[in-house]
Structure 1
Amino acid sequence: MTTTGRFFCADAARMRGDPIAGTAPRGLVWVLIEYRSGWPVNGFDGIDLAPEVKTHVWSAAHAVRARVLLVRRLARPRPEGPGRWAVLHYEPSGAYRQRWGTWTRDEDLVEIADALRSPGPTDHPPVVLVCVHGQHDVCCAVRGRPVARALSERWPNLVWESTHVGGDRFAANVVVVPDGVYYGRLDAAASVAVVEEHLAGRVHADHLRGYTDLGPPQQVAVAALLGRFGPAGRHDYAVTGTAREGDDWRVRVELRAPVPTAFDVDLRAHRAPPYRLTCRGPAPSAAIVYEVSAIHSA
Structure 2
Amino acid sequence: MTLPHCSVASEEVGESLAGTAVESVDRWLLLEVTDPWAPDAIETEALSGQVHARLGRWLKEIPRSRLQLIRRPGHTGRKSKFIVVSCDRGVVSEVEVDRYEDLLGLSIEGMFEQSTPATKPICLVCVHGRRDRCCGQHGSAFFRALQGRGLDVWQTSHLGGHRFAACALWLPEGLMYGRLRPEHADAWVSARANGALGDLTRFRGRCSYDRPTQAAEILLRSRFNEPSDDAVAWVSTTASAADTWEVQFRVSQRTESVRVHLEQTGVSRPASCGKDPEPVTSFVEF
For 2:182 and 2:107, the matched residues in 1 are separated by: 33
Over 3 Å counting, the alpha-carbon distance change for 1:71 and 1:115 in structure 2 is farther
CA shift, 1:264, in A, is: 1.4
Whether the aligned pair in 2 keeps the contact of 1:96 and 1:126 (CA below 8 Å) is no
> Larger relative CO (CA 8 A, sep 6+): 1 or 2?
2
Aligned CA RMSD, in angstroms, stands at 2.1
One-letter amino acid of the structure 2 residue matched with residue 208 of structure 1: F
Of 114-123 and 223-232, deviating more is 114-123
For the structure 1 residues 123 and 141, does the alpha-carbon distance in structure 2 shift closer, same or farther, using more than 3 Å as the test?
Answer: closer
Which runs of structure 1 show a deviation greater than 6 angstroms over 4 or more consecutive aligned residues? Answer: none
Q: CA deviation at 1:63?
A: 1.7
1:55-94 superposed matches below 5 A: 55-64=53-62, 65-74=64-73, 77-91=74-88
Query: Match for 2:113 among 111, 118, 133?
Result: 118
Give, in angstroms, the shift of residue 68 of structure 1: 0.9
Higher strand share: 2
Deviations 1:53-110 (A, max 9, x none): 2211220122224211111124xx334241111011111xxx4211101011122223
For 2:120 and 2:112, locate their aligned partners in 1 and report how far apart those are by CA, in whole Å: 21
Determine which of 7, 10, 15 is the counterpart of 1:13: 10
- The 8 Å contact of residues 232 and 250 in structure 2, kept in 1 or not, is answered as yes
- The Cα offsets for residues 16-72 of structure 1, whole Å up to 9 and x where unpaired, read as 100110101111111111111211111122232231122112201222242111111
How far apart are 1:114 and its partner, in Å?
4.0
> For each residue in 1:102-129, what CA deviation from the matched residue of structure 2 results, as whole angstroms up to 9, or x when unmatched?
0111222232634465361114322100
User: Residue in 2 aligned with 1:249?
Assistant: 245
Separation (CA, whole Å) in 2 of partners of 1:167 and 1:210? 12
> Which letter maps to 1:68?
L
How far has the Cα of 1:272 moved from its partner? 4.3
Equivalent AA in structure 2 for residue 62 of structure 1: K
* Distance across 2 between alignment mates of 1:247 and 1:59: 33
> C-alpha separation between the residues in 2 aligned to 1:116 and 1:34?
16
Deviations 1:180-230 (A, max 9, x none): 100111101213311321132011313100011112221112112222323
- Candidates 90, 93, 101, aligned match of 1:96: 90
Q: Which of 283, 290, 294 is residue 283 of structure 2 equivalent to?
A: 290
Which residue of structure 1 lines up, in the alignment, with residue 144 of structure 2?
149
Give the match for residue 22 of structure 2: 25
Q: What TM-score, normalized by structure 2, do the two folds share?
A: 0.90
* Paired residues of 2:93 and 2:112 also in contact (CA < 8 A): no
- 1:140-289 paired onto structure 2 within 5 Å: 140-155=135-150, 157-204=151-198, 205-243=200-238, 244-255=240-251, 259-273=252-266, 274-280=268-274, 282-289=275-282
Deviation at 1:283, TM superposition (A): 4.1
Range 31-40 or range 78-87, more displaced: 78-87
- Pair 183,112 (structure 1): closer, same or farther in 2 beyond 3 Å: farther
C-alpha displacement of 1:238: 1.6
Q: Once the two structures are aligned, what percentage of the paired residues are identical?
A: 26
Q: CA distance change for structure 1 residues 272 and 46 in 2, over 3 Å: closer, same or farther?
A: farther
The whole-number CA distance in structure 1 between the counterparts of 2:284 and 2:82 is: 39
Structure 2 residues not aligned, in runs of 5+: none
Contact 1:56 1:113 in 2 (8 A): no
Structure 1 letter corresponding to 2:71 = R
What TM-score results when the alignment is normalised by the length of structure 1?
0.86
The question of whether the paired residues in 2 share the 8 Å contact of 1:146 and 1:187 is answered with: yes
Q: Which residue of 2 aligns with 1:296?
A: none
Per-residue CA deviation, residues 155-190 of structure 1 (Å, 9 max, x unaligned), is: 3x5110101001111001111022110011110121
Letter aligned with residue 246 of structure 2? R
CA distance in 1, matches of 2:257, 2:186: 32
